[in-house]
Amino acid sequence: MEKIISLIKTDLNVSFGLSALKYKFQNKKDRWQSIILFIVLLSLLPTYIMIVKGLSELYLAYVQIGQKSAFLLNGFVYSQLIVFIFGIIFILSKYYFSNDLDILVPLPIKSRDIIAAKFITSMVNEYMTSLPIILPFIFIYGIKGNEGILYWLYSILLVLFVPVIPLALASIIVMVFMKYTNIRGRKDLLRGIGYVFLLVAMLAFQFKMQSIAQKSVLEGNDFFFNIAKDSNILVRKMGKAFPPGMWGSLALGENSSITGLLNLILFIGLSILVFLIMLELSEKLFFKGLIGNMEVSHSRHKKISIKDYSKVSPGFIAIALKEIKMLFRTPVYLMNSVMGVVIVPIIFLMSYYMNGGTFAGRTDSFFQGHIVSLIGSAVVVLLSGLNSVCSTTFSREGKNFWIQRVLPIKVRDQIIGRILSSLFIQLIGIIALLFSLYLVIELRIENIIWITILGLLGSIVMSEIGMVVDIFRPLLDWDNPQKAMKQNLNVLITMGLSILYLLGLVYLVKELIIRDVSLYIIYGIPILIFSISAYILYILLKKIIYKQMQLIE
């Protein structure tokens, strides 16, 4: 137990930089970063308040039909689902790609102790994801329902255990996957493809289970009679998709009776049981998957002729290929880049088909067809701003950044190559979006052309914005590739700037549509703005990168 506690303290210190907080606060150079983070979080507060107000209205709707405990079910299911989805990415990085493994593995420490410590640290990290989601549900239900002290005590216990089950399941899936995809030669490619299919399969399963549960609720002959007779029927029927969410909801909804206590025990008991099973499996799975990941194969010798050394590629092509290979060879980067642009079309399609194809009809008129083009291109540009490929392009170099400084590559090639790698990821997103739209609406050739052209032009601008932010303050000192992308303030800053830029452009296009101007002007204005913005940012980047390459140590 002492080893686990010691590992937890060390891992928390490394993961959250606890020992460096005081230094960063006193250091004037780093203090402004905390101020920027505070401003970014403050800018999100109005949106969060609006969402909470919407949840208050949702609570009243459940109260009116006498099923208010179903309101809590939404909170438990959503929070645990989000923890599970993002937990797979985080667990993958935490367990298999952190630099401390080179130190921990040779030590006389059991794999279950390493996993237990990393799991606790992951839970602390996931509280930052789960708490903003589930707390509004708990507070709205408790305050508006005038719940007693027992409700709040149960709430504290449940909130503490909310991330356990999804994180433990994510851990088991990742460890099994890492062990059985350890195929020499093509394991990186196989794992990269597997991660994408795994996440899609999990999302599809969750959507399908929710769809089945909702249909079973609505298709019953005595549905309305049962609602009047049983105030928890919605929770019991919809909770079939995820029983722990049902137990958490019933524990709070029936907190004054023995039913509430039994459901609380079920929720906590299953959480502990799944955690213990995960630790037991780690003894058989963790090291085998880890060794396969860390091994260096000596069997893949390749004969290299003199001609191979004589091949010379343009500098920007070399940079682009390097970036693309880095993104695809590192599963953490792959999940955060490729999945970032394809997840929206995937969710769109799954929700459409899970609901029996109930979205609004097809676009038959000429004007509606162009609305599809404008909205589609706006989605592509937005995803480019939210994607972290270019906003972490220099940060991903890490301690090897010095190599970029000494390479005989022009600044122009650095910019173009990194933009090309970002556009390659965007092309994957565009293909996914067009395919999903084709299955849902009547997509025309002009839609495909305009979405592609406007989407790529806008993506160039968003990529340049991300590069400006990242070269100003690259995060080069990291011990885990997850930190370079998911724990990088540059991503948040880029998101904020990109959203502001896009909102301004959307407002301008909306005004043009309202004034019924020519379609040539409606398309021409964004193209002109994107082109001018891209050129200005390119000139700015050339100066900034040249200067920063000299200053950054």
Each residue's pLDDT tens digit, 393-411: 888 888 888 787 777 788 8
**Complete DSSP assignment for 382-423:** HHHHH--SGGGTTGGGGGGHHHHHHS---HHHHHHHHHHHHH
Question: What is the Cα–Cα distance from 359 to 372, expressed in whole angstroms?
Answer: 14
Q: Alpha-carbon dihedral of residues 309, 313, 315, 320, nearest 10 degrees? A: -110
Amino acid at residue number 237? K
Cβ atoms of 161 and 83 within 8 Å: the answer is no
SS3 readout for 270-323: HHHHHHHHHHHHHHHHHHHHHHHHHCCCCCCCCCCCHHHHHCCCCHHHHHHHHH
Cβ atoms of 327 and 333 within 8 Å: the answer is yes
pLDDT at 57: 85
Radius of gyration of the chain (CA): 26
Question: What is the Cα–Cα distance from 198 to 192, expressed in whole angstroms?
Answer: 10
Beta-carbon contacts of 490 under 8 Å, excluding residues fewer than 6 positions away, are 391, 392, 395, 466, 469, 470, 473, 474, 475
Question: What is the Cα–Cα distance from 552 to 322, expressed in whole angstroms?
Answer: 21
Question: What is the Cα–Cα distance from 249 to 266, expressed in whole angstroms?
Answer: 12
Each residue's pLDDT tens digit, 433-451: 888 888 777 788 888 899 9
Q: How far is CA 360 from the centre of its chain?
A: 28
Q: How far is CA 192 from the centre of its chain?
A: 16
Q: At what angle do helices 331-354 and 366-386 cross, to 10 degrees?
A: 150
Question: What is the Cα–Cα distance from 443 to 459, expressed in whole angstroms?
Answer: 22
User: 455-466 burial, b if ≥16 CB within 10 A, otherwise e?
Assistant: bbbbbbbbbbbb
pLDDT at 534: 94
Q: Is the pTM of this model over 0.85?
A: no
Question: What is the Cα–Cα distance from 291 to 287, expressed in whole angstroms?
Answer: 6
pLDDT at 367: 41
Which among 107, 106, 76, 97 is positioned nearest to 6, based on CA atoms? 107
* Residue 209 CB burial class (10 angstroms; 0-12, 13-18, ≥19): middle
* Residue 88 CB burial class (10 angstroms; 0-12, 13-18, ≥19): buried
- The pair of structure tokens assigned to 378 is 């706006």
Which whole-number Å values give the CA distances from 320 to 179, 269, 299, 326, 510, in the listed order?
Answer: 31, 50, 28, 10, 36
User: 508-528 burial, b if ≥16 CB within 10 A, otherwise e?
Assistant: ebeebeeeeeeeeebbeebee
DSSP for residue 553: -
Q: Give me the tens of pLDDT residue by residue for the chain, a chain 553 residues long.
A: 676 777 777 777 666 655 555 555 555 555 665 666 666 667 667 777 888 888 888 888 878 877 777 888 888 888 888 888 778 777 877 777 776 766 777 777 777 888 888 888 888 888 888 898 899 999 999 998 888 899 999 999 999 999 999 899 988 888 887 777 654 444 555 555 555 665 666 566 555 555 555 555 555 545 444 544 444 555 666 666 678 888 888 888 888 889 889 999 999 999 999 999 998 888 887 776 665 555 443 444 444 444 444 456 688 898 988 888 888 777 677 777 777 787 778 777 766 665 555 544 444 444 456 788 888 899 999 888 888 888 888 888 888 887 877 777 888 998 999 999 999 999 988 998 888 888 777 788 888 899 999 999 999 999 999 999 988 888 887 767 777 777 788 888 888 888 889 989 988 988 888 887 888 888 899 999 999 999 999 999 999 988 888 777 6
